[in-house]
Amino acid sequence: MATTKDYRLGEFTFPRGWFMIAESTELDTYKPLAVRFFGKDFALYRGRTSGRVILLDAYCPHMKTHLAAPNTTSYVVIDGQGTNIDGDGLRCPYHAWRFGPDGKCDDIPYHQGAIPASACVKSWTVVESLGAVWVWHDPEGGDPEWNHPSLPVWEDPAWVRPKWDHLGMLNQHPQEIVDNICDYGHLSPIHGSTVERYENEFQGIHAIQRQCGGHRTLVTADGVSPDLHTVTTYHGPGLLMSHLTGMEESYMLIAHTPVDDGTIKVWHAVVVKSPSGSAVATKTDQIAAAQFQNTVLLSFLQDMEVWNHKAPCLNGLFIPSDGPFMKARIWYKQFYNPRAKKQEYLDQCEGVYIPKGATAYSQAAV
Ligand code: FES
Ligand SMILES: [Fe+2]
């Protein structure tokens, strides 16, 4: 395991961006969830009054109790019918101080006087979108630099909304996963792609890969490999969306979020256009879409199997026929450094890149 410092990414240990921290349905039981990301512990819960999702720092300022650790014996939880969520607030199981969605303590049952202003925990900016909960993480504490993750087809009844695959923890720095966006050379040996045309582009917060060709994992039920096009885009450092055409039109989503410095949690989902062509996806479409998601997952697991065992690539032996790894790594640095320095990195990486010997994606009709 290597750290952000080992990769010389910049000033911050954890990047700026929107990051997935849970699937929405994990919060529907109205029990708080103890989660850990960015080297910190958090309490994540859905307010009972408003239904909104709230993320607080985990440890109560009174005596440092974890506000969301599983608890079944405190009378705060027993009297709350199995939860310490109280309205839109969260009550500490130890002495019953209650924290509102803004993180401020608003009730101490055994105290009549003023509540100290320091009786608060940080409340984070979170949104629910794409069936998941996303936090805005910014080492400088700024407002979101770009809009939270979304996809217009998510609201379209002709498309099937997926369940997320929870792929668990990976003992790799996220740099190793982000490298994949420009890994031209692995497409044939790992995925069995023929890669007829290929290019990368870096533009602002987006890192893009366009490619087309046959595939040995993504094949039809008859084993036929269609001419598959994928336009794959990182929207900031934590979410990749790949628009796939040629088989079922779909968007593959891969989200990864740093847990500690050098480890990540990974999720995968595929949003599929109704395979029957129906304007409103049917039950049969849902089954077919879930099967397609499983096939796409097999393709991603081909990458994961390698990542599970590789050593950190701190000094790669790159060749001109590889994808633009060094450009992608410069692009990635913008998120590990102050916003004021962002343009310095973009000046060094923005543009379109074609590996030596490859045919540019845009050179032929799509
Ligand atoms: S430790 Fe939380 S209320 Fe005392
Ligand atoms: Fe891959």
Residue-wise pLDDT tens digits, 30-79: 999 999 999 999 999 999 999 999 999 999 999 999 999 999 999 999 99
The closest residue, in CA terms, to atom 1 on ligand 1 is 63
Residue 195's domain is classified under what CATH number?
Answer: 3.90.380.10
Exposure on the CB side of residue 282, measured as CA atoms within 13 A: 5
Q: Do 124 and 23 lie in a common domain?
A: yes
Are the CB atoms for 222 and 359 separated by under 8 Å? Answer: no
Query: Cα(165)–Cα(353) distance, rounded to whole angstroms?
Result: 32
Across the chain, mean pLDDT equals 96
- Provide the residues around ligand 2 (an ion) whose CB is within 5 A: 303
Ligand nearest to the CA of 90: 1
Is residue 122 helix, strand or coil?
coil
pLDDT band of residue 363 (cuts 50, 70, 90) is low
Write the DSSP string, 16-54: -EEEEEEEGGGGTT---EEEEETTEEEEEEE-TTT--EE
Q: How far is CA 355 from the centre of its chain?
A: 28
Q: Is residue 104 part of a domain?
A: yes
Picking from 232, 224, 237, the residue whose alpha carbon sits closest to that of residue 198 is: 232
Domain count along the chain: 2
Q: Tell me whether residue 109 is exposed, middle or buried, using C-beta atoms within 10 angstroms of its C-beta: 0 to 12, 13 to 18, 19 or more.
A: exposed
Residue 161: inside a domain: yes
Does residue 221 form part of some domain?
yes
Exposure string over 13-37, b if 16+ CB within 10 A, otherwise e: bbbbbbbbbbbeebbeeebbbebeb
**pLDDT (0 to 100) of residue 364:** 53
Question: Side chain identity at 53, as an amino acid letter?
Answer: V
CA-proximal residue: ligand 1, atom 4 (nearest): 95
For residue 255, what are the domain limits? 152-363
CATH number at residue 62: 2.102.10.10
Confidence of residue 107 (pLDDT cuts 50, 70, 90): very high
Residues 116 and 203 in one domain: no
What pLDDT score was predicted for residue 365?
44
The residue-averaged pLDDT of 143-149 equals 97
**Dihedral sign for Cα atoms in the order 302, 303, 308, 309:** positive
Which residues contact ligand 1 via a Cβ below 6 A?
60, 62-63, 65, 92, 94-95, 97
- State residue 366's pLDDT score: 40
63 and 209 assigned to the same domain: no
For residues 198 and 51, membership in a common domain is answered with no
Q: What is the mean pLDDT of residues 177-198?
A: 96
One-letter amino acid for residue 322 of the chain: D
Q: Over pLDDT 70: what percentage of the chain?
A: 99
> Smallest Cα–Cα separation from 211: which of 193, 225, 226, 197?
197
Q: Whose CA is nearest to atom 3 of ligand 1?
A: 95
